[in-house]
Amino acid sequence: MDTGGGAPDAPGEDAARPEAPTPDLLETLRELGDGGKASWQAGRDAAKALRLLVAADISLARSAFGRTLAFSGIAIALGGSAWLLLMGAVVAGVHLALGGSWLWALLGTGVLSLVLAALAGWAAMRYFEHTRLKATRRQLARLGIGELSKLMPAPDSGASAQAVSERVAEDEAVAAGEVKHEGVEITPP
């Protein structure tokens, strides 16, 4: 006799006999297990991809750092030789009364060395940009890590992190008055 409380008529009758899980419950548990395995594999794949990205970015930075050192060495050598040649031009200027042809030769060589030193310094600064690990910083920002994380799109969005970071850098440069909005590329900090 059921009193409305949902208790069985005979005490212990249903308690002693455990109910077998329904096929729907077993299928649901199997799907849940498969979903967990798939999530674990996706996490492993994402971690592997991030590790490969970091390794490639560090390799690029290492190569760029070597080139930076090489071009810095060239800039220092040419700058030093330009200084010596300009000092030689001053010495030759003292001897101007002897004909003056040395002065123009030494001045021309000194100016050429200064131009080459400036070009090598520019190349060193350009290669040094690769040491900033930009791709890794963008991906870490997409994962919510780092100083740019609040500015990046959500990880599940289709928006490009690079496009967002370039737009943010451009907006900051315009706001700081560093550049007029004329398409001049500014590297984000």
Query: If you average pLDDT over residues 7-34, what whole number do you get?
Result: 69
Q: Which residue has the tokens 């390794």?
A: 55
**pLDDT beyond 50 at 189:** no
Decide if 151 contacts 142 (C-beta within 8 A). Answer: no
Identify the pLDDT of residue 9. 54
Q: Tell which phi-psi region holds residue 19, choosing left (phi > 0), alpha (psi between -120 and 50) or beta.
A: beta
The residues, any chain, with a CB within 8 Å of residue 144's CB and separated by 6 or more, are: 155
pLDDT of 1-16, one tens digit each?
455 555 555 555 555 5
pLDDT at 187: 53
Q: pLDDT tens digit string along 33-91?
A: 989 999 999 999 988 988 998 888 888 888 888 899 999 999 999 988 888 887 777 66
Where are the chain's structural domains? 44-132, 133-189
pLDDT digits (tens, 9 = 90+) for 87-145: 777 667 756 766 666 676 677 777 888 898 899 999 999 888 888 888 888 778 777 78
187 half-sphere exposure, CB direction, 13 A CA radius: 12
Alpha carbon distance 111, 139 (integer Å): 45
Q: What is the pLDDT of residue 119?
A: 93
State the helix-helix crossing angle for 23-94 and 134-142, rounded to 10 degrees.
150
